[in-house]
A and B are shown apart, each in its own frame.
Chain A
Amino acid sequence: MRASIGRYWYAYAMVLPVVVVIAVLVLYPLVQGVYFTFTDINESTIANPVLDREASYEFVGLRNYLNVLSGDASFGAFWATLLRTVIWTGTCVVLTYGTGLGLALLLNRPMRLRGLYRVLLILPWAVPAFISAFAWKYMFNSQYGIINQLLGSLGLPQPVWLGQSDLALVAVIIVNVWLGVPFMMVALLGGLQSIPADLYEAAEVDGATPWQRFREVTLPGLRSVSSTVVLLGVIWTFNMFPVIYLVAGQNPNTRILVTYAFERFFSGASRDYAVASTYGVLILSVLLVFASFYRRALRRQGELV
């Protein structure tokens, strides 16, 4: 050990800053967050140097977990919120992936002005998310929004989009899909371009119809790109706080796990850090379980080595 330090001290010295940064920025908050879930920490029990008040929170064991997992409405109706989160995530990922793949297929064929279309379709990605979110929020405004004006001019009903109904969830899903499509499109376009053209020719000579070529050449060729972008899409959407919060605000009909954790942390009579942390740990657990199952499924298909 000593000999190896003497020999490789330079390598250790070079790695040290990264280790320190990860420890301070990732490990310490994570460990502290997990610790908070076993306490009753909130605004009135946390140490407050301004009021010169000592920390007075106490260890409460698994009480927070039991409260949250009971699904009680006063603790955010965990199971109902989880179900809504899953619906939100599933719908968003399926729609962004499907739309992204469709656009990528269109953009992959030779045509005029292809470069221009590509740039235009990537634009939503280049705009800061909060600007897009606010723009959409006004477009969805029931009285002055362009969407309802359009619907009205077509003689269709003009619903209250962002009110206390499931339409609000539909609205935020639309916004999130709009924001998420460019990423999917760019990633899948790259995947499409890496499929050798002679595979399509071989399939054509073998007698495959265009649909069979898509199923037997395009989709398998995209599998490794798809598995990555779907995993990323799920994780990002599951934790997509800004779109929901900026477009719909604190609306129980669009509440997902992260937005509830945020509400619990920053608002309410007493900012309940303990329950918010419990939500955070539960979200992390759900995603870890999902990711490990997902990877196992891929490995079975022989995609990951």
Chain B
Amino acid sequence: MAEVAYDSASRIYTGNPPVRAVDQLNLDVADGEFLVLVGPSGSGKSTALRMLAGLEDVDEGAIKIGGKDVTNVPPKGRDIAMVFQSYALYPHMTVAENMGFALKLRGTPKQEIKDKVAEAAKMLDLTKYLDRKPKALSGGQRQRVAMGRAIVREPSVFLMDEPLSNLDAKLRVETRANIAALQQRLGTTTIYVTHDQVEAMTMGHRVAVLKDGLLQQCASPRELYDRPANAFVAGFIGSPAMNLKTVPITAEGAQLDGLTVPLSRASLDKVGGLTEVTFGVRPESLKLAGADEQGMELTVELVEELGADAYVYGSVRIGGTPERFIVRVDGRTPPAFGQTVKVALRDAGEIHLFHPESGARLEA
């Protein structure tokens, strides 16, 4: 049990110019918290995790586990357990040997190892497979063995590097729930890396979004979704992605084609002298408008029917150029391809405004 802190930690790869894979990362993870690091590939999320594991150097700043500075401590002295994307199971050892290896290295008595392995195996439904070698297991079972190897050690922090990305979609959803439940039960501080924002949103107590080695925002899933700190987070979190368009702005509000979105006084103050803003609205905040309502003219290009809902992809002309918009509509009465429909906001409050250049959030 321990809290984790990144204190302006950077990882700089030599080169010309040097690459700051992780740049001045500041992050505090509370004891028992499940924190997800999420970002596109190359965002530095895995590097940040490996820095915490001690597999990657920390070039600037410090890393603390349980209040102790571990910046220059080798991995074995950090009391962490890591689950790798490839699982990294030792191929010549049985499941039981794999799970008990760390304890064996520590010189734990044989009987104690056996008991702990048996206990973890029971928790993960692996008891039947303890004598098998990893190559005789399915992908899902291997994943569980990798989890078991981490659990058996009872470390103060779990590190997980995309542990679900080698599983098929159905198993991934199932295992996702299992891992979250297990973490809840064990109450061990967990840092989890993924590129999948759905995983991030469903598993994490808090989610840290990284891009190009820089922390964009670290907040609860709800907060990330409702109040993204910048246009990148707004576009990255949520599926399908938020509609983000640069639109002209006047005293009446944001000018979309055929639709003027009035802005609150506070928002207008923030916008200040700008003539354009990046305007964001989630697909579910849009609706098909009635004939007498004000709305944007959207030409339907694609309809994705998901059963309960349907997503309409279409183009709207803003300032003369066609822009792609996604609208969530009722799954039973979607518009047809090629049709032109009128689209309006469900609620004028469900919009996001960002600075057109910096991307920073503008609303209060």
Q: Contact residues of A with B, CB < 8 Å?
A: 196, 198-199, 201-208, 212, 216-217, 220-221, 223, 302
B101 CB-CB contact with A under 8 Å: yes
Contact of B76 among A199, A208, A216, A220 (CB under 8 A): A208
Question: What distance in Å separates the Cβ of A230 from its nearest Cβ neighbour in chain B?
Answer: 17
Interfacial chain A residues near B90, Cβ < 8 Å: 199, 202-203, 216-217, 220
Interfacial chain A residues near B101, Cβ < 8 Å: 203, 206, 216
**Known contacts being A201-B55, A302-B133, is A196 close to B88, with CB within 8 Å?**
yes
Please, could you name 27 A-B residue pairs with CB atoms under 8 Å apart, sorted by A? A196-B88, A198-B84, A198-B86, A199-B90, A201-B53, A201-B75, A201-B82, A202-B89, A202-B90, A203-B90, A203-B101, A204-B54, A204-B55, A204-B74, A204-B75, A204-B76, A205-B53, A205-B54, A205-B81, A206-B105, A206-B153, A207-B102, A207-B105, A216-B90, A220-B90, A220-B91, A221-B91
Interfacial chain A residues near B170, Cβ < 8 Å: none
Interfacial chain A residues near B106, Cβ < 8 Å: 207
Question: What distance in Å separates the Cβ of B106 from its nearest Cβ neighbour in chain A?
Answer: 6
A208 touches B105 (CB 8 A): yes
A202 touches B82 (CB 8 A): yes
Residues from 191 to 233 in B contacting A, C-beta threshold 8 Å? none
Q: What is the bound-complex CA distance between A192 and B85, given in angstroms?
A: 21
B110 CB-CB contact with A under 8 Å: no
Binding site secondary structure of chain A? helix
Interface centre among A201, A202, A220, A223 (most CB of B within 10 A): A202
A212 touches B91 (CB 8 A): no
Interfacial chain B residues near A199, Cβ < 8 Å: 88, 90
Interfacial chain A residues near B53, Cβ < 8 Å: 201, 205
B128 CB-CB contact with A under 8 Å: no
Question: What distance in Å separates the Cβ of A191 from its nearest Cβ neighbour in chain B?
Answer: 13
Q: What is the bound-complex CA distance between A98 and B76, given in angstroms?
A: 29
The interface size bin for chain B is 20 to 34
A202 touches B84 (CB 8 A): yes
Interfacial chain A residues near B133, Cβ < 8 Å: 302
One digit per residue, 1 when the CB lies within 8 angstroms of any chain A CB and 0 when it does not, for chain B 48-79 equals 00000111000000000000000000111000
Complex: chain B residue closest to A199, CB-CB:
B88
Interfacial chain B residues near A202, Cβ < 8 Å: 82, 84, 88-90
Q: What is the bound-complex CA distance between A217 and B88, given in angstroms?
A: 11
B80 CB-CB contact with A under 8 Å: yes
Interfacial chain A residues near B89, Cβ < 8 Å: 202
One digit per residue, 1 when the CB lies within 8 angstroms of any chain A CB and 0 when it does not, for chain B 88-106 equals 1111100000000110011
Q: Identify the 3 closest CB pairs spanning chains A and B, nearest first.
A: A207-B76, A202-B88, A206-B102
Question: What distance in Å separates the Cβ of B135 from its nearest Cβ neighbour in chain A?
Answer: 10
Interface centre among A196, A204, A217, A302 (most CB of B within 10 A): A204
Complex: chain A residue closest to B78, CB-CB:
A205
Q: What is the bound-complex CA distance between A217 and B75, given in angstroms?
A: 17
Interfacial chain B residues near A203, Cβ < 8 Å: 90, 101
Interfacial chain B residues near A205, Cβ < 8 Å: 53-55, 75-76, 80-82
Q: What is the bound-complex CA distance between A223 and B90, given in angstroms?
A: 13
Question: What distance in Å separates the Cβ of B146 from its nearest Cβ neighbour in chain A?
Answer: 9
A198 touches B88 (CB 8 A): yes
Q: What is the bound-complex CA distance between A196 and B102, given in angstroms?
A: 19
Q: What is the bound-complex CA distance between A207 and B92, given in angstroms?
A: 18
Contact of A201 among B88, B91, B92, B153 (CB under 8 A): B88
Interface centre among A196, A201, A216 (most CB of B within 10 A): A201
Complex: chain B residue closest to A198, CB-CB:
B88
Contact of A212 among B54, B75, B105, B153 (CB under 8 A): B105
Interfacial chain A residues near B84, Cβ < 8 Å: 198, 201-202
Question: What distance in Å separates the Cβ of B51 from its nearest Cβ neighbour in chain A?
Answer: 13
Q: What is the bound-complex CA distance between A203 and B91, given in angstroms?
A: 12
Question: What distance in Å separates the Cβ of B2 from its nearest Cβ neighbour in chain A?
Answer: 16
Interfacial chain B residues near A196, Cβ < 8 Å: 86, 88
Question: What distance in Å separates the Cβ of B231 from its nearest Cβ neighbour in chain A?
Answer: 35
Q: What is the bound-complex CA distance between A193 and B92, given in angstroms?
A: 17
Question: What distance in Å separates the Cβ of B152 from its nearest Cβ neighbour in chain A?
Answer: 10
Q: What is the bound-complex CA distance between A198 and B101, given in angstroms?
A: 16
